[in-house]
Amino acid sequence: MTTVADLKGQTVAFAASGGLDSCTVTKWLTENGVKVVCFTADIAQPDESNFDEIETRMRACGAADYVAIPLHDMIAESGIEVIQFQARYEGAYWNTTGIGRHVIVAGMIPEMKKRGATVLSHGATGRGNDQVRFQLCTNMLAPEVTVYAPWRDREFLKKFPGRSEMIDYCNSYKLPIKASKNAPYSTDANLLGLTHEAGKLEHLTTEPWFVTPGMGVLPKDAPDAPESVSVRFEKGRPVAINGKATTAFQAIQTANTIGGKHAVGIATHLVENRFVGIKSRGVYEAPGMELLGSAYAFLLQLVLDRRGRELFDQLSLFVSKQIYQGYGFDLATHMARGAIAPITNLVTGTIKLKLYKGRAEFEAAEDVPHQMYSEANASMEAIGSFDHADSEGFLRVLQVSARALAANGQVTAPAWAKV
């Protein structure tokens, strides 16, 4: 395991967000004779009103150099793929931070190679998922690069048992940190969403509405009148919102604004199973992902037949876990992309949603050329080509196996049936 002593005199490429961990690690490494070059990914993080201030903070903390990496398109494209897979971890979390770590590493590696840097460092703690994501993504994309994690270095842990000591350390050097000891929780942000955790959110008596939203409003503060919004997809990609042509980045930006206004995808509570084996509580914001993802889900309902739906659901569940655990670049995920491609190519159509007090409900579907739904065949009225009497033969076939189960003692009714 690499320690700070091993790095003395070397150059480290540090993935810097500009937060407390970044400031602390940069200053501490510099004090220990390590040259730190800070790399900050511009992934349209909404909690940074002035992105350029991150460079000022990091240089004040001792960074020998600073590199800003523009990744707006990459984070947007990754978000579209998450939507196409409906990749919500444990059914609720749109994997916004998980995929964000993949994007950061994918953006850092080429910049590191340009500068001959061979050590990548990050400020992720030893209890969370991010350490795994940074490690595995780097190992896969650049196996020759060493990963140094201060939060797994005994020397760092000895000096900084927790956030309180880090804040005292930074204040002693008058470093320009934003964190304070009375902060109610911590937040990680990118274009796709915000992750709130720790602090008072660790108490399950703290309701999710305790957070102050950064990408919208709480349902109680949303407009009292619903708003309709239409999203046009072509081959799985959003190409227009409310009739206006859009790029992937613009689509998520616009959806963030409209969805956030109506509290869609705001303050989603989840007690999740971290990859490291502990449970954690997160409160999430992802208004654009929820809006676009809901519209996409309604198109999938129209396009997929029964067997296609079953396979898609398995792929969705699998990729949700892959992204969450940091395996988004491996062979299995690549195989899943190939498997889902035929489905994605069929997802064309316009979905109209009604947004109201945190909900994005179906309103209408139009121009869906590959839909399996037939109003005539689904009708209970005497129209269409489906003859109710034709089901007699179908049921005769099904009853053979049902009666065979009963005849061979393989049917057990539950207690509540009382048969």
130 is catalytic: yes
Q: Which of 57, 88, 101, 163 is catalytic?
A: 101
Q: Which residue has the tokens 């409900």?
A: 361
- Mark whether 21 is an active-site residue: yes
Residue 418 buriedness (CB in 10 A; 0-12 / 13-18 / 19+): exposed
Catalytic residue among 17, 21, 57, 237: 21
Sign (positive or negative) of CA dihedral 121, 147, 5, 7 = negative
Number of neighbouring beta carbons within 10 Å of residue 106: 19
Q: Answer yes or no: 309 catalytic.
A: no
Residue 101 among the catalytic residues? yes
- Which residue among 6, 186, 309, 359 is the active-site one? 186
User: How far is 369 from 227, CA to CA, in rounded Å?
Assistant: 26
The catalytic residue among 121, 130, 153, 232 is 130
Distance of CA 410 to the CA centre of its chain: 44
CB 334 within 8 A of CB 239: no
For the annotated catalytic residues, the residue numbers are 21, 101, 130, 186
